[in-house]
Structure 1
Amino acid sequence: MRLAQLPEEFKNAQPILTKLESAGYEAYFVGGSVRDTILGKPIHDVDIATSAYPQEVKALFKRTVDTGIEHGTVMVLDHGNGYETTTFRTESGYQDYRRPDEVTFVRQLADDLKRRDFTINALALKQDGTVVDLFHGLDDLAAKIIRAVGDPEARFGEDALRMMRAVRFASQLNFTIEPQTQKAIKDHAPLLSKIAVERIHEEFVKMMIGPAAQRGLSLMIQTKLADYCPGFIGHTIDLSTIATLPHLQMTDEVEVWTLVALHLGLSYQDTVEFLQVWKTANHIIKAVVMALHLTYAQQYHRVKPRLLFDLDPGTIRAGTNVARYSGYGPEDPNQWLEVYDKLPIRNTRELAITGKDLIQGLGMTPGPAIGQTLDQLVDTVLAGEVKNDHAALVAQVIEQQKSANASE
C-alpha cells in the first residue's frame, strides 16, 4: 500500500528522515500516527524509528534532547517541533510486567516491529508514502480488528498495560478484539494489579471518552479487567448498567468519574476517597463532587438557583450530561446553563456588599456571623427577594438585625 498524500505533520518531519537516509540509515514513521493516517483520522505525535543508534542520531542533528536515550529515544528539534526518534530495538525480561529489563539496539526494522503490541500499531511508513506491513495490520484495520502481534500471551506477559490499551482501542476505534487476543487478556487479567494506578487511570479515562465506550467497558467486564481496577470489585452489575446506556458520549474526565460515582451509588465523601485511590488530580475530584450534586438534584427534582450558583459552567454541563446519559436529565442539554446565565449574581464577588462593609458600615463584629450574613444575602438575592444593590442589601441587614433583637 502506498499513500498518495501525507498529512502536513509528516511532511514537516520529512527532513529528519531525509537526513537519516542520506547518512545511510533506514528511517520510518511508526506508531499510532501511521494507523490514524490510514484511517483518515487526525494525528498528534509523529514518531520516527531508525536503524541509527542514539549516538549516531545525535551526531547528525545539531539540536537534540535525551528524552529516553537508555531505551534508544532521542528528541530531534527542528523548526520549533520535536520528533522522538527511536532506534530499532528488541526487548527482554519484563520482571515488573511493564518495562523491559534489557533493551538491545538492532539494525533491522522487522525485529523492532515484532515487539509492538498490536498489528494495527506495527505499521511503518516510508517518507514516499509506502506502508510497511509485516503482520497484516492493514487487513486488521480494514476488518476493524485488534490483534496482538505474534503470541498474545507473550505480549501481555511482557506489558500488562497492553490489556487496557486493547479495550481502549476497542472504544476509540469501535473495533472488536480478535478471540485469541481477548482470551489472553482474560487469562492475564490479574497482572493488571502489577501496573501503577496512574497508568490504568489514563487508559480507563481515554476508553470512557471514546465513541464506543460501552464496548470498551463491556470488554473490561467480560475479561475481568474491571475486577483489578480500584473500587470496581463487587460492582459488576453497576458497571454493566453503564455499559448498556444507549446515548453515552462523554467529553471529559469529570463526566467519566461523575457517571461512575453515580452508578456505583457513591456518597460525596465516598467519591472523594474512591477518586483518591484512583490517583485523580484534586481539581478533578472537586469538580466531580460538584457535578455529582447537580446530578443527584436532577434525579430528585431539586435543582434550585442556589445549587447552580455554587457550581460553574463546566460542572453544570458535566452534571447535566451525566443525568441525560442516565435517562433523567432535561431534554435541552443547555437548560441549566441558561438558568445559570440568568442568575442575578454568579459568585460571591458579585454581591454588592462585602464583609468589610458589614464591619465598618454596620458595626458587626468580625467572626462567623459575617460569613453567615453574606450567605443569607446571597440566598435572598438569588430568590429575587432583594435586588443586588448596596443600599438595598444594607437595609436588608438592618432589618435582619432588628428582627433578631426583637426575638431576644
Structure 2
Amino acid sequence: MQVKNLPQEFIEALPVLEQIRQAGFEAYFVGGSVRDTLLGLPIHDVDIATSAYPAEIKDIFERTVDTGIEHGTVMVLDHGNGYEITTFRTESGYQDFRRPDKVEFVRSLKEDLKRRDLTINALALAPDGTVIDLFSGITDLENKVLRAVGQPEERFFEDALRMMRTVRFASQLGFSIETDTFAAIAKNAHLLEKIAVERIHVEWVKLLLGQDLKQGVAAFLKTELYRYCPGLAQQKENLAKLLELDEFQLADELACWSLLCYLCDFSISDAKKFLKSWKTSNEIITEVTNVLTLLKHADEPTIDPFSCYKAKEKATQTAADLAEILQLKLSKETLITTYEQLPIKDKAQLTINGKVLIEKLSLKPGPILGKVLNILEHEVVLGNLPNQSEVLLQRAQELSKD
C-alpha cells in the first residue's frame, strides 16, 4: 500500500528522514501516526525509527537533545520542531512486567516492529508513502480488529499496561479485540497491579473519552481488568450501568470522573478518597465535588441558584451534560438557565466590597465584616437584593447593627 497524499505533519518532517537516509541509514515514520493516517484521523505525534544508533544521529544533526538515549531516543530540533528519533531495538527480560531489563540496538526494522503491542501499531511509512506492514496490520485496520503482534502473552508480559491500551483502543477506535488477544488479557489481568497508577489513569480516561465507550467498558469488565484498578474491584455492577445508557460522548476528564462517581453513588468524602487513589489533580477533585453537589438534586425539577453559583460555570456545565446523559429529572436546560440568569457569577462582581464597608460604615476587618459580605452576596445571588451599591450599603448598615 502507498499513501498518495502525506499529511502535512509528515511533509514537514521529511527533510529529517531524508538527511538520515543520505547518511546511509534507514528511517521511517512509525506507530500511531501511521495508523491514524490510514484511518483518516488527525496526527498527534510524529515518531521516527531508524537503523542509525543514537551516537550516529547526533553526528548527523547539529541540534539534538538526549530525551531517552538509554532507550535509543534522541530529539532532533529542526526549524522550530522537535522530532524524536528512536533506534531500531529489541528488548528482553521484563521481570517487573513494565520495563525491559535489557535494550539492544539493532539494524533491522522487522526486529523493531515485532516488539510493538498491536498489529495496527506495528506499521512503518517510508518517505515515498509506502507502508511497510509485516504483521497484517492493514488487514486488521480494515476489519476493525485489535490483535497483539506475535504471541499476546509475550506482549503483555513485556508491559502489562498494554492490556489497558488494548481495551482503550476498543473504545477509542470502536474496534473489537481478537479472540486470542482477549483471552490473554483475561488470563493476565492481575499483572495490571504491577503498573503505576498514573499510567493506568491515562489509559482509563482515554477509554472513557472514546467514541465507542461501551465497547471498551464491556471489554474492561469481561477481562476483569477492573478488579486491579483503584477503588473499582467492588464496582462491577455500577460500572455496568455505563452499558445501559443511550449512546453518548463525554466531553473531558471532569465529565469522566464525575459520571463514574455518580454511578458508584459515592458520597463527597468517598469520591475524594477514590479520586486521590487514582492520583487525580486537586483541581479535578474540587470540580468533581462541585458536580456531585449539584447532582444531589437529580430528582428535583428545580435547583437553588446559589448552588449553581457556588459550583461555578465549568461544574454546572458538566452537571448539565451528565443530567442529559442520565436523563435526570433535573434537566440540562434547568441547570444552564439557572446559571445564566444569575445576577452575578463571582463575589468580585458585587458593587461593594470590604474596603467600602470599612470606609463608609467604619466596620473593622474581622468575622462581622465577612459575615455581612456573605449575606449580601447570598441575597444578591438569590435576587432578593439588586446589585446596587446604595442598596447594598444600606442593607450592610442594617446587618452591622444586628
Q: TM-score, normalised by structure 1?
A: 0.96
Give a deviation string over 1:324-361, Cα, whole Å, max 9, x none.
Answer: 21121666x56533432332111100111212233332
Q: Residue 318 of structure 2: SS of its match in structure 1?
A: helix
Q: Following the alignment from structure 1 to structure 2, what is the Cα–Cα distance between the partners of residues 71 and 134? A: 23
Equivalent residue number for residue 232 of structure 2: 232
Q: Distance in 2 between matches of 1:323 and 1:296?
A: 11
**Distance in 2 separating the partners of 1:334 and 1:381:** 22
Distance 2:158 2:287 in 1: 36
Q: Percent identity?
A: 50
**In terms of mean alpha carbon deviation, does 137-146 or 346-355 score higher?**
346-355
Distance of 1:169 and 1:146 partners within structure 2 = 8
Letter in structure 1 aligned against 2:150: G
Q: Indicate the residue corresponding to 2:346 in structure 1.
A: 347
Residue 7 of structure 2 corresponds to 7
Counterpart position of 1:169: 169
CA distance in 1, matches of 2:385, 2:20: 73
The CA deviation string for residues 125-161 of structure 1, in whole angstroms up to 9 with x for no partner, is 0010100000000000000000000000111111000
Q: Is 1:54 the equivalent of 2:54?
A: yes
Q: Report the alpha carbon displacement of residue 395 of structure 1 after superposing the two structures with TM.
A: 1.1
Maintained 8 Å contact 1:353/1:393: yes
The count of aligned residue pairs is 402
Q: Following the alignment from structure 2 to structure 1, what is the Cα–Cα distance between the partners of residues 26 and 333? A: 54
* C-alpha separation in 2, matches of 1:318 and 1:338: 14
Q: State the match for 1:200 in structure 2.
A: 200
Matched, 1:139 2:139: yes
Aligned to 2:86, what secondary structure does the other structure show? strand
Give the structure 2 partner of residue 264 of structure 1. Answer: 264
1:119–1:140 contact (8 Å) kept in structure 2: yes
Aligned to 1:310, the other structure's residue is in SS state helix
Task: Identify the residue that residue 218 of structure 2 maps to in structure 1.
Answer: 218
Distance in 2, Cα, partners of 1:329 & 1:19: 62
Tell me how far apart the structure 2 counterparts of residues 98 and 29 of structure 1 sit (CA, whole Å). 25
Unmatched runs of 5 consecutive residues or more in structure 2: none
Alignment-derived partner of residue 93 in structure 2:
93
Specify the alignment match of 1:24 in structure 2: 24
Tell me which amino acid in the other structure corresponds to 1:399. Answer: E
Report the residue type matching 1:354 in the other structure. N
Aligned-partner Cα distance in 2 for 1:330–1:385: 24
Q: Which moved more, 1:356-365 or 1:378-387?
A: 356-365
Change in 2 beyond 3 A, CA 1:9/1:330: farther
Alpha-carbon separation, structure 1, partners of 2:15 and 2:382: 64
Report the equivalent of 1:389: 388
Match of 1:37 in 2: 37
Q: 1:293 to 1:302 in 2, by over 3 A?
A: farther
User: How many Å apart are 1:122 and its aligned residue?
Assistant: 0.2
What secondary structure sits across from 2:187 in the alignment? helix
Residue equivalent to 1:398: 397
CA distance in 1, matches of 2:254, 2:128: 42
Structure 1 residues 268 and 302, CA, compared in 2 at 3 Å: closer, same or farther? farther
Secondary structure, aligned partner of 1:297: coil
Aligned-residue offset at 1:390: 1.1
One-letter identity of the residue aligned with 1:352: T
Distance 1:379 1:278 in 2: 35
Q: CA deviation at 1:190?
A: 0.4
Alpha-carbon distance between aligned partners in 2 of 1:116 and 1:379, rounded to the nearest angstrom: 58
Query: 3-state SS of the aligned residue for 1:124?
Result: strand
RMSD of Structure 2 on Structure 1 (CA)? 1.4
Contact 1:214 1:248 in 2 (8 A): no
Q: Give the Cα–Cα distance (whole angstroms) in 1 for the partners of residues 79 and 172 of structure 2.
A: 32
Matched letter for residue 345 of structure 1? I
Q: TM-score, normalised by structure 2?
A: 0.97
Q: Does the aligned pair in 2 maintain the 1:161–1:200 contact within 8 Å?
A: yes
> Within 1, Cα distance between the matches of 2:334 and 2:126?
51
Does the Cα contact within 8 Å between 2:372 and 2:400 map onto a contact in 1? no
